Structure 1
Amino acid sequence: MKHLIVGPDNHGVTAYALSLAQATGADVIREDTFTDQPLPDEPIHVTFTDYLFGSTPQEAVDKLLARVGERELSVSFHDIPQVEEGTDRFARRADAYRRLHARAQLTGTNSAHEAQFFDGDAAVIHLPVPVIASAFDPEPGTVGVLGFVYPGKGHEDLVAALPDKRLRFLGSVSAGHEKWAQELVRTAGKVELTGWLDDAAMAREMGRIEVPVCAHRHFSASGSLMTWLGAGRNVLATDSDYTREIDAWLPGRITLVADGAWREAVEAFEPKVMDPPEYGWADVARGWEDAWRSTGLL
């Protein structure tokens, strides 16, 4: 089976695809942007989010299916449509994703919550928990959010709820949201945008945070949450189907926060450090290999 990997190296979905290929020892067809070059005559695995493959969801699926042709197809789905995106956008994306799912011999998602989009007809293989060597040295009054900064990830909710806290957003502003981020900082009390951090700097800055937070309004799967857990931190996270799923899978590490309850949760939070969960790329690889074998793709 060949892995067709599309997108820039620093994109989260592309990075997942590259790591999965490495962990499974797969042969890779690598493209920064999607092309129409012929594929080898064998099963194809694709790590899919629509905007890496086309200018619209329908175009992305049309182009991918035309290129795959009659070959057997395995798809790891990411950024699965959610109704919270808005009625029109959800309908456009949902139709495209379901069409691709119907064509594939195997569909995989990162959570049971996401698999429900396909009526449960998908292999559930959780995101890996990376082991992060982060020195635990929290600075009092600091509240931290990890990863790309963009609307809907809860930054605005924390700014509104915690004007007296030191809010530290560890990561780059997503392209196209620079003005939004500048306005967020201008209207806030104590906010720091660190910008891009390499792995060593990110680990160091994570250790300085007293209250790690994942405040996404609409969870489906979260590399940011897994990174906090990989540093052995306990985390405040928005109460959702996804975070309840992860809390049940990895108990004792997440405190679920109801809508509008950030201040109370932060005030009651007691930071601690523990051994990170033992679930890495080798486990993810085994999950995919088992799924491929069960469908005759491996």
Structure 2
Amino acid sequence: MPTPPLTIALGPPTHGVTRFAADCARAAGTPLLEVPESARLREALAAHPGSAVHLHITDSLFGATPDEAADTVEVMARDRPVAVTLHDIPQPAEGTERCRRRMGAYQRIAAAAGLVVVSSEHERRLCDAAGIVVDAVIPLPVPDLGVASSPIEPDAGPHPEAVRRDERSVGVFGFLHPGKAVDVVAQAVAELAAAGDHSVGLRLLGSPAAGHEDYVRAAVETVRAAGGHADVTGHIEDGDLARVLGEVTVPVALFRNVSASGSINTWAAA
């Protein structure tokens, strides 16, 4: 029986793609190598000379630029068989020039790999349009969040995530960045507040993606300036997900770029 490939979970453990890579390897019972940053990847692989690897790729984890990410994969593929699952497939909605640069990198990565996997038919169509041959579509799973713990009572003491019983909320979940249209959701909640409805709050369930702290801060201030309330929870521990997501009245996934989405599947699980 062939030896299964070594899955590389590259990046911080809280990153969705990194975490998914690790979860897939553990679920399949296949070898896993966790590497917190791309600068340490070559050193980590030196202990596994020639081993076939499976990479879960979004370009920002593999290099400071899309071209650097493609360089990383091409160098790796010179010494070993490489399979890839492509995430965050580039698409025109993210901006013409950014899409062009990222898609060029994804084309190079796919050309270096012996097997290419995506997570949705939509992503396959994006790859087809770019001349990337996809070998398999494997949908993302809906996770099991378990049973929600008891909701927080109003008199339970200070909790940054506490929700008043009479409060309705609009929630955006996951790493927060412009692709999730947090600004549009914030503006909608602000308009409710400006019209006199202060019973609906904005709940941003997660942390700002790297480089987008000011964007998230501006969204919160948009709501507060209109007299509404808004908060950012920061990272939510696994054991709290079912409860925290279940407290939201209206979950919103207003993605500017349609894709396979772990955050949507987590909403579905909740």
TM-score, normalization by structure 2? 0.78
CA distance in 2, matches of 1:192, 1:23: 35
Please, which moves more after superposition, 93-102 or 171-180?
171-180
Counterpart in the other structure of 1:124: 137
- Letter of the structure 2 residue corresponding to residue 223 of structure 1: G
By how many angstroms is 1:124 displaced?
0.9
Tell me, yes or no, if structure 1 residue 172 matches structure 2 residue 207.
Answer: yes
Q: 1:16 to 1:91 in 2, by over 3 A?
A: same
Alpha-carbon distance between aligned partners in 2 of 1:105 and 1:208, rounded to the nearest angstrom: 44
Mapped pair 1:216 → 2:255: yes
Q: Deviations over 1:239-280 (max 9, x none)?
A: xxxxxxxxxxxxxxxxxxxxxxxxxxxxxxxxxxxxxxxxxx
Aligned identity (percent) is 39
- Aligned partners of 1:50 and 1:56 also within 8 Å: yes
Distance (whole Å) between structure 2 residues aligned to residue 74 and residue 152 of structure 1: 27
Q: How many residues align?
A: 231
* RMSD of aligned Cα (Å): 2.1
| Equivalent residue, structure 2, for 1:295 | none
Shift, 1:114, TM fit = 0.8
Cα 1:139–1:219 change in 2 (3 A) is farther
Q: Deviations over 1:113-142 (max 9, x none)?
A: 111122163411111101222369786532
**78-87 or 114-123: which moved more?**
114-123
**2:180 paired residue number:** 153
Which of 185, 189, 204 matches 1:162? 189
Cα pair 1:4 1:44 within 8 Å, conserved:
yes
2:6 to 2, 8, 13: 2
Map 1:19-168 to 2 at 5 A.
19-34=23-38, 35-37=41-43, 38=46, 39-119=48-128, 121-132=134-145, 133-134=147-148, 141-163=168-190, 164=192, 165-168=200-203
Give the C-alpha shift of residue 197 in structure 1.
2.0
Identify the residue that residue 199 of structure 1 maps to in structure 2: 238
Write out per-residue CA displacement over residues 21-65 of structure 1, whole angstroms, 9 at most, x where no aligned residue.
111111123321223243422322111111211222122212222
Q: Which runs of 5+ in 2 are unaligned?
A: 152-164, 193-199
Which letter does structure 2 place at the counterpart of 1:169?
A: L
Tell which deviates more after alignment, 1-10 or 136-145.
136-145
Query: TM-score, with normalisation over the residues of structure 1?
Result: 0.71
